[in-house]
Structure 1
Amino acid sequence: MTTSSHRGTPGPGITGTALTFAWPDGTTVFDELDLALGPGRTGLIGRNGGGKSTLLKLIAGELAPQGGTLRVSGEIGHLPQDVTLATGLRVDQALGIARTRAALHAIEAGDAREEHFTAVGDDWDVEERARATLDGLGLAGVGLDRTIGEVSGGEAVLLRLAALLLRRPDVLLLDEPTNNLDLAARHRLYAAMEAWHGVLVVVSHDRELLGRVDQIADLHDGDLRLYGGDLAAYEEAVATEQTAAARMVRVAEADVRRQKRELAEAHEKLAARKRYGGKMAASKREPKIVMNLRKRAAQESAGKYRILHERRLGAARERLAEAAEHVRDDARIRVDLPRTRVPPGRQVLSVRDAVLRCGARATFDVHGPERIALVGANGAGKSTLLRTVAGLLPPAAGDVRAHVPLRMLPQRLDVLDASLSVAANAAQFAPGAGDNRVRAQLARFLFRQARADQLVGTLSGGERFRATLAALLLAEPAPQLLLLDEPTNSLDLTSVAQLTAALESYEGALIVAGHDVPFLHSLGITRWLRLDGELREVAPVEPGEPAH
């Protein structure tokens, strides 16, 4: 029987025992999952589609488990991943203080009706608290009477967080809170998170954010394991575990081979005894009754010997299977892309006095296999610049000219046909390649055998990203300039590692727009460009460094 309680336990915390949850179509998400989370900052990580957002919704009471018990003590605040605010909503309404604020203003104007005092309660400093919270998140310029339509998408995310902070919940649940936030907004959110004193559970793939947590909760294959420390400590612990697990697999494999040899020897001994018994029977050197007794004893002895080794082999195989279960299947993309090579010094792109549709201006060149990071605040025009370079948008003025084949990976991942398979999509990008070659290349992007026949519309976010990247990199002609727009948004850590591995093999020029500084550094960026009304070259942005 399922029981779920959100009150009554002393001290803030989350406890779940044998949690079971499945979607209406029968897809199991959790089967007897246990968890216990107390005060402090917990980073919840795992593969895309592994159930992280579902677990937060269960904790928040937005979904009900079908089995087990779940208890959350204290008030809960939940910031989901994709909740949008109505553009006509006022900021004070979004913050949940509109009624209290209206009552406060009425009292200040001389209206002493009891309903106003009831609405205010003890919250006489609501406006001061609201402004202080907004100021702490870098939203000092956002007035309480403005509408959501007047603020940027990143500011809207921070407003939703501000609304939660004003409520002062005991348990704060954040689902990918840095998605679509620029560098400045990300650092404001980091600061708010570090100042949090209750229970905080944050789902994220943002390495900088996960470097600020107290523990990592790893949701892997339906189990939740806790690792003390931040992401770096977690990765070190997992690497140690995996080294030990791989060693245990090698030992178990060696044992299986030894048991197979001994079993084969047992069969050979049994056959030898049968041959010897046959010779003795043919020679009739002993009485028949004696020979039968010897034969029966030999058969029983050999049978017991064979059964013993069969059991030992079975046990060795079980140990091997158990050892293999502890080795993670976080496969890496391994692909060679020699046709993308660009010689050093070759002119790849020239942008002259370009005026973008958003009003920003840009002049720059790209030569050889340069790797360029494009940074700047949300709304500065980074996506517009990439779309202009890709030829999807004409510049309002100036000249933009690519001198090599190029491809662009947009944020929305709308490049592929959702009604076609992965293989069919890739074949459209490389019409001259045969089916065998396309499938061989897709296998290197981890779409092996039947996986290549999956419809793109059925893929998870990380799989769809990988399929799109595969199609673009395998395209004919091979792209010698690749444009990536916020490529790590909504990707889990494994998918980000796979993307980095694929781009290690890319030998062309690369322009990446993004706010994920550790990821940008992992690509071996050679130049940093900032777009802020005008494009200019800047010093490398370091992890942990706020945007200026």
Structure 2
Amino acid sequence: MLCTDLSFEWPDGKPVLENFHLVVGPGRTGLIGLNGAGKSTLLRLLAGELTPTGGTVRIGGELGYLPQDLALDIGLRVDEALGIRARREALRAIESGDVAEEHFAVIGDDWDVEERAEATLDKLGLGALGLDRTVGELSGGEAVLLRLAALLLDRPDVLLLDEPTNNLDRAARERLYEAVESYSGVMVIVSHDRELLSYVDQIADLRDGEVHFYGGNFEDYEAALAVEQEAAERMVRVAESDVQRQKRELAEAQVKLARRVRYGKKMYENKREPKIVMGERKRQAQVSAGKHRTLHADRLADAQERLVAAEEAFREDAEIRIDLPRTEVPEGRTVVRMTDVALAHGGTVNLTLRGPERVGLVGGNGAGKTTLLRTIAGELAPLSGELLTPVTIRYLPQRLDLLDDKLSVVDNVKALAPGISDNLVRARLARFLFRGRRADRPAGTLSGGERFRATLAALLLADPPPQLLLLDEPSNNLDLASMRQLTEALESYRGAFVVVSHDVRFLRRLGLTRWLQLDGEGLRQVDPM
């Protein structure tokens, strides 16, 4: 797979890639980068869904593409979604005695298509699905696996996967990992899932319109990057020291020149030498001073250029640094009590949370985790039972649709904290990396990572401050830097929270005090995963 001088810009003229080059050979490549770097756009260009404004894309063989936002017609049958319905019908016709030539043409050499389809579905945990069911009966995670099964059945030479583990429960993720590990062609995976990235052969880091390759999986990439960044940080310190030294030398040179000028002026005023001699000395002094000043100024400019180059080599993804004392919950204080609560979409729950508990909520797709969070948040009324929530609650849904796109980041935060002054809001937003004019940008213009930070800021800076946070799959669609920033923010948060996630590695980093699992047997505590 080869990209040469590839350029692309959106219809409004916003550039994404310019004179971009990429070569990917056999094996599994993990494509990472900040939100807005152009990863999904690049995959769509490779898949032919977008037309480049310049350059070429060459794919060696058949290509399969699994998009991030998968949309399947709910009226489709499973065999249609797999692309094998025509072959199945041709098989049935031949088995019934119809030996028309077109049936053989449709089948070609694929006489075992049904067996291959059922084996592929079984490998992905969809063995009980049946080829005659409709897509509308599937969960979102099952639909993703079904689309992957269709791609694997076609046996493409190149396979592109864009955030394939989003919305997959733990069991489905395990099956997808196995499928990725066993794939033998060219595979490019865009993902923030660290566990999935442990199965790749190399990491391609897309940053500032260029790709840098690192051999090995994500852990190898982190180790190599740490060495690079340590060296780059040393270069920055050396370059900063050199700039300061050149500034001192320039200042010292200017002082010496000023002394010479004063001395020459005094000699001229005292007329101790012939006027022509003094004039020549003055001219020579001016020429010498100019050369001296230019020399030091050039050295300073060179040192400053080296500092800029060193700083560009040092990648410092900004960190969120906040303190949220007003969110603190005393030990033992009840924040949620659910007694025989019947949920709107089925199931009965008993749950008590006290103090600053940190709870991870896991379970299969469709188990009712989102329903449980929405019930605690007051968005859904329980059918029966008793629900007590004596503290301020804030709920972060999967869709991140809390912000008003027309309002600025500042005004969105003030909407949830109307009693706080504009200056205080801006000071607090700076801790979430919205400094100066960035805080005045409309929410609708933010990138995915920026929007997440703005939403998180609006929740955590709300007045009254939340003492219970409910987070529904917060890591979906976040780049790795945003994932780290979310973890940092939750480390600063002093209240209780319940986090729904299928990403076990992410949950492990949150310092959970309890793991709860919701399934057909109800809500129960389980051992840490």
Q: Distance in 2 between matches of 1:16 and 1:488?
A: 31
Q: Find out whether 1:232 has 2:219 as its counterpart.
A: yes
Match of 2:331 in 1: 344
Q: Distance in 2 between matches of 1:299 and 1:458?
A: 55
Residue 380 of structure 1 and its aligned partner are, at CA, apart by 0.4
Give matches, 1:362-401, under 5 Å. Answer: 362-401=349-388
Residue 196 of structure 1 and its aligned partner are, at CA, apart by 0.4
Q: Find out whether 1:196 has 2:188 as its counterpart.
A: no
Aligned equivalent of 1:142, options 125, 129, 133? 129
Residue 48 of structure 1 and its aligned partner are, at CA, apart by 1.2
Helix, strand or coil for the counterpart of 1:173?
strand
Q: Find out whether 1:507 has 2:497 as its counterpart.
A: no
Match of 2:526 in 1: 538
- Contact 1:80–1:175, Cα closer than 8 Å, also in 2: yes
Report Cα offsets for 1:22-44 as digits up to 9, x if no partner. 11211111112221111111110
- Contact 1:154–1:181, Cα closer than 8 Å, also in 2: yes
Helix, strand or coil for the counterpart of 1:99?
helix
Match of 2:139 in 1: 152
Residue identity opposite 1:540 in structure 2: P
Report Cα offsets for 1:222-252 as digits up to 9, x if no partner. 1100111111111122222222212111111
TM-score normalised by L of structure 2: 0.98
Match of 1:170 in 2: 157
Match of 2:22 in 1: 35
Q: Distance in 2 between matches of 1:279 and 1:451?
A: 56
Structure 2 runs not aligned, ≥5 long:
none
Q: What is the RMSD computed on CA atoms of the aligned residues?
A: 1.1
Residue 306 of structure 1 and its aligned partner are, at CA, apart by 1.0
Q: Distance in 1 between matches of 2:478 and 2:158?
A: 25
Match of 2:266 in 1: 279
Report Cα offsets for 1:160-203 as digits up to 9, x if no partner. 00000000000000001111111111111000000000000000
Q: Distance in 1 between matches of 2:35 and 2:431?
A: 20
Helix, strand or coil for the counterpart of 1:225?
strand
Moved more, 513-522 or 239-248: 239-248
Residue 403 of structure 1 and its aligned partner are, at CA, apart by 2.1
Residue identity opposite 1:104 in structure 2: L
Q: Distance in 1 between matches of 2:43 and 2:139?
A: 26
Give matches, 1:71-220, under 5 Å. Answer: 71-220=58-207
Residue 329 of structure 1 and its aligned partner are, at CA, apart by 4.0
Q: Distance in 2 between matches of 1:296 and 1:253?
A: 36
Q: Distance in 2 between matches of 1:206 and 1:368?
A: 31
Match of 1:517 in 2: 504
Residue identity opposite 1:241 in structure 2: E
Q: Find out whether 1:316 has 2:268 as its counterpart.
A: no
Report Cα offsets for 1:498-532 as digits up to 9, x if no partner. 11111110001110011011111111011111000
Aligned equivalent of 1:410, options 397, 411, 428? 397
Residue 274 of structure 1 and its aligned partner are, at CA, apart by 1.2
TM-score normalised by L of structure 1: 0.95
Q: Distance in 2 between matches of 1:290 and 1:68?
A: 68
Q: Distance in 1 between matches of 2:326 and 2:201?
A: 45
Q: Distance in 2 between matches of 1:242 and 1:528?
A: 36
Aligned equivalent of 1:497, options 484, 500, 511? 484
Residue identity opposite 2:528 in structure 1: P
Q: Find out whether 1:463 has 2:450 as its counterpart.
A: yes
Q: Distance in 1 between matches of 2:160 and 2:113?
A: 23
Helix, strand or coil for the counterpart of 1:70?
strand
Q: Distance in 1 between matches of 2:5 and 2:263?
A: 60
Q: Distance in 2 between matches of 1:355 and 1:63?
A: 47
Residue identity opposite 1:463 in structure 2: E
Q: Distance in 1 between matches of 2:175 and 2:456?
A: 32
- Contact 1:15–1:71, Cα closer than 8 Å, also in 2: yes
Q: Distance in 2 between matches of 1:150 and 1:439?
A: 48
Residue identity opposite 2:351 in structure 1: F
Give matches, 1:13-92, under 5 Å. Answer: 14-92=1-79
- The percentage of counterpart residues that share the same residue type is 66
Helix, strand or coil for the counterpart of 2:143?
helix
Structure 1 runs not aligned, ≥5 long:
1-13, 542-548
Q: Distance in 2 between matches of 1:220 and 1:347?
A: 46
- Contact 1:375–1:529, Cα closer than 8 Å, also in 2: yes
Report Cα offsets for 1:122-175 as digits up to 9, x if no partner. 000000000000000000001101100111111111010000000000000000
Aligned equivalent of 2:255, options 231, 244, 268? 268
Moved more, 110-119 or 407-416: 407-416
- Contact 1:360–1:380, Cα closer than 8 Å, also in 2: no
Q: Distance in 1 between matches of 2:453 and 2:264?
A: 65
Q: Find out whether 1:446 has 2:439 as its counterpart.
A: no
Q: Find out whether 1:305 has 2:292 as its counterpart.
A: yes
Q: Distance in 1 between matches of 2:132 and 2:246?
A: 77
Report Cα offsets for 1:418-439 as digits up to 9, x if no partner. 2211111111111111111111
Helix, strand or coil for the counterpart of 2:401?
coil
Helix, strand or coil for the counterpart of 2:59?
strand
Helix, strand or coil for the counterpart of 1:163?
helix
Moved more, 354-363 or 520-529: 354-363
Residue 291 of structure 1 and its aligned partner are, at CA, apart by 1.4
Residue 398 of structure 1 and its aligned partner are, at CA, apart by 1.1
Q: Distance in 2 between matches of 1:431 and 1:117?
A: 71
Residue 77 of structure 1 and its aligned partner are, at CA, apart by 0.4
Moved more, 241-250 or 429-438: 241-250
Q: Distance in 2 between matches of 1:65 and 1:86?
A: 28
Q: Distance in 2 between matches of 1:323 and 1:217?
A: 22
Residue identity opposite 1:538 in structure 2: V
Match of 1:429 in 2: 416
- Contact 1:270–1:299, Cα closer than 8 Å, also in 2: no
Moved more, 168-177 or 77-86: 77-86
Match of 2:240 in 1: 253
Q: Find out whether 1:332 has 2:319 as its counterpart.
A: yes
Give matches, 1:280-295, under 5 Å. Answer: 280-295=267-282
Moved more, 413-422 or 512-521: 413-422
Helix, strand or coil for the counterpart of 1:181?
coil
Residue identity opposite 1:234 in structure 2: Y
- List structure 1 runs of 4+ shifted beyond 4 angstroms: none
- Contact 1:423–1:452, Cα closer than 8 Å, also in 2: yes
Helix, strand or coil for the counterpart of 1:166?
helix
